[in-house]
Amino acid sequence: MISCEELFEVFKKNDLNFFTGVPDSTFKEWMSFLADEHKKGLTNIIACNECEATAIASGYHLATRKIGVVYMQNSGLGKCVNPLTSLCDKEVYSIPVLLMIGWRGEPGKNDEPQHKKMGRITIPLLEVLEIPYRIVPENLADAEKTINEMKKLAEEKQMPTAIIIKSKVLEEYNSKTKIQPNYEMSREDAIKIIVEEIEEGAIISTTGKCSRELYEYRKLRGEKGKDFLTVGSMGCSASIAFGAAISQPGKKFYIFDGDGAILMQMGTLSTIGAYKPRNINHIIFDNSSYDSTGGQPTNSSKVSFGEIALACGYQNAYEVKNKDELIKKIGECYEGPNMIIVKVKEGSRKDLGRPESTPIENKKEFMEFLEK
């Protein structure tokens, strides 16, 4: 295994000190290291999505002639196909970037359902895109050769290249930067309160721990079928809910969103605001972190989601920080679209489980619930 400090020295030797992207759990240790070591000559720009990160690294190259590193989960590779083919490609602007891709769903290894397909096609997709790649070995000497090779190739050919990081290649790293908002509720506390307060309506929850916490509480209550658990497609829960809500205007829909997810697809707010479905209540659990990938910081502390929602056409937007405020505002959600930003603590239970039903089973039960 390789330590983050050793990997840092490898990047430094290759004059690779500009990083941007969206955190991935495969190399969450490196993401935590970047958050801590920004004063060592590293630049780390936490982007809202992988397309943005690819464009940021392209701008960095235009201004410096140097190569930026774009980090992402392999699901993000699918997202940034457009800028890779229409911006960075040799047949367009010929802009070199080094992609650092975490390999979720690696064939032959157990992983969650949403990662299996992308894990299987990660290598073929890079080959179709004509992006040279190497899998980073687990020993430092070979890893250094691999990174050096891909950096030189990107430089010589003026094109994107990629390094692929498997799980457990990097040693554990204890972050010095901890996000600990001093709020009363955890996300799980808030989820339980909302479920208890709403008698009717369907919930569409975002990917990651939010859906896992909702699933566990429904199981505890002996309920099922009322929620669509978005296990992948980060940032898309609000759009899923919008499509369902305008198709069933007589039913209430609640969106359980995260700050990182809404930042990734913030344009959805303008769509919801423009069409104004009265039956949508958009709830954002804001803990200023990417909780499911290791707690790396988001930019939400510098963003006013409520003001943005109102500017986009939402009827109401509230921010709550405790149980009493949350219960009060849930009770005031009449004609929408409404937004409630729930400020919560970062982190989750260590024994948090995962859904026992498959995504297809969840879909069927949810559709049956909507038909009733």
pLDDT category at 347 given cuts 50, 70, 90 is confident
Kindly tell me if the per-residue pLDDT of 180 is higher than 80: no
Q: What per-residue confidence (pLDDT) applies to 77?
A: 96
Q: How confident is the model at residue 181 (pLDDT cuts 50, 70, 90)?
A: low
* Fold match, 4-165 / 187-371: yes
**What is the CATH topology of the domain spanning 4-165?**
Rossmann fold (3.40.50)
- Which of 30-39, 66-75, 131-140, 271-280 bottoms out in mean pLDDT, i.e. has the lowest? 30-39
pLDDT range class, residue 208, cuts 50, 70, 90: confident
Confidence (pLDDT) at 288: 87
- Return d(Cα 97, Cα 151) in angstroms, integer: 8
- The pLDDT > 70 percentage for the chain reads 98
Per the model's pLDDT, the better-predicted residue between 157 and 293 turns out to be 157
pLDDT in the model for residue 32: 83
The answer on pLDDT for 20 being more than 80 is yes
Q: What is the pLDDT of residue 290?
A: 82
Nearest to 144 by CA among 12, 240, 23: 12
Distances (CA, A) of 136 to 109, 143, 148, 273, 336: 17, 5, 11, 45, 49
Residue 227 reports pLDDT greater than 80: yes
Q: Are 272 and 330 in contact (CB under 8 A)?
A: no
Lowest-confidence range among 4-8, 134-138, 220-224? 220-224
Mean pLDDT throughout 34-51? 84
Asked if pLDDT for residue 179 goes beyond 80, the answer is no
Among residues 164, 167, 80, the alpha carbon closest in space to that of 123 is found at 164
Please give the pLDDT value at position 128: 98
pLDDT at position 371 over 80: yes
For the cut 90, the answer to whether the pLDDT of residue 26 exceeds it is no
Assigned token pair, 161: 């290249």
Instruction: Could you list the beta-strand ranges (E) of 9-126.
Output: 18-21, 43-46, 68-73, 97-102
pLDDT digits (tens, 9 = 90+) for 64-90: 999 999 999 999 999 999 999 999 999
**Confidence label for 29 from pLDDT (cuts 50, 70 and 90):** confident
Question: Could you tell me the pLDDT band of residue 253, with boundaries at 50, 70 and 90?
Answer: very high
Given a cut of 80, whether residue 199 has pLDDT beyond it is: no
Q: Which CATH architecture has domain 187-371?
A: 3-Layer(aba) Sandwich (3.40)
User: Is residue 236 predicted with pLDDT exceeding 80?
Assistant: yes
Strands across the sheet containing 316-320 = 227-229, 202-205, 253-258, 280-286, 338-343, 316-320
Q: Is the pLDDT of residue 296 over 90?
A: no
Q: Where are the domains of the chain?
A: 4-165, 187-371
Q: What's the pLDDT band for 184 if we cut at 50, 70, 90?
A: very high
Provide the residue type at 56 as one letter.
Answer: I
pLDDT of residue 38: 63
**337 pLDDT more than 90:** yes
Question: What pLDDT score was predicted for residue 173?
Answer: 86
| pLDDT score at 190 | 96
**Percent of the chain topping pLDDT 90:** 77
For 179, residues 6+ apart whose C-beta sits below 8 A from its C-beta are: 287, 288, 289, 295, 297, 346
| Alpha carbon separation from 23 to 46, 49, 55, 188, 308 (Å, rounded) | 8, 10, 17, 22, 24
Mean pLDDT, the chain, integer: 93
